């Protein structure tokens, strides 16, 4: 519930510096929630990327722009309708999820026992988390690393273009 309040506060913020700081706090709260849910690897990623790198990049962008949001005038009704419809669809779809911690859910009855019992012999890595991330979810992990690398290269390229433009002026 606190994350929802924080998200609404960020969306309504006119001061962009405050919005960036609140976004960093939101990421840290999300990381804490992931720790509570025993997803420590996701929590580390959220803390490093969401609260760390993203906040630094937004502050660097803010240093080159205005600190106040400009008034855009009227409300974009089609965008509001589309976003609301997507939100309603997501909430409706979430009713089909298994209950949190349900021991009869497919993740606990099919996937988890296989990882626990077979990963030492199939993969040969004694640490089960490492074997899941490096082998069973290897392509997923490679995709995540590729996205983060591409985003970093893009940001560096944009910063380089902006510096070159400043030198020419």
**CB neighbours (10 Å) of residue 90?**
9
Arithmetic mean of pLDDT, 121-148? 80
Is the per-residue pLDDT at 79 higher than 80? yes
Angle between helices 16-36 and 2-12 (to 10 degrees): 160
Is the per-residue pLDDT at 85 higher than 90? yes
Go through 120-144 and write b for each residue having 16 or more CB atoms within 10 A of its CB, e for each that does not: eeebeeeeeeebbbeebeeeeeeee
pLDDT-based confidence at 22, cuts 50/70/90?
A: very high
**Residue holding tokens 């949001």?**
69
Both tokens of 32, joined, read: 């804490």
Is the per-residue pLDDT at 162 higher than 70? no
**CB neighbours (10 Å) of residue 27?**
19
What is the per-residue pLDDT for 29? 92
């Amino acid at each position: 519930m606190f994350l929802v309040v924080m998200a609404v506060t960020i969306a309504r913020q006119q001061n962009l510096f405050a919005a960036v700081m609140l976004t960093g706090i939101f990421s840290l709260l999300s990381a804490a929630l992931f720790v509570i849910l025993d997803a420590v690897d996701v929590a580390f990623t959220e803390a490093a990327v969401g609260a760390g790198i993203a906040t630094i990049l937004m502050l660097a962008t803010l240093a080159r722009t205005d600190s106040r949001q400009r008034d855009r005038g009227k409300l974009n009704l089609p965008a509001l309708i589309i976003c609301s419809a997507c939100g309603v669809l997501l909430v409706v779809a979430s009713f089909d999820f298994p209950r949190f911690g349900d021991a009869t859910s497919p993740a606990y009855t099919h996937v988890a026992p296989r990882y626990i019992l077979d990963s030492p012999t199939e993969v040969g890595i004694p640490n089960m988390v490492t074997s899941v991330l490096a082998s069973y979810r290897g392509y997923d992990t490679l995709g995540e690393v590729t996205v983060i690398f591409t985003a970093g290269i893009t940001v560096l390229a944009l910063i380089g273009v902006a510096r070159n433009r400043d030198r020419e002026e």
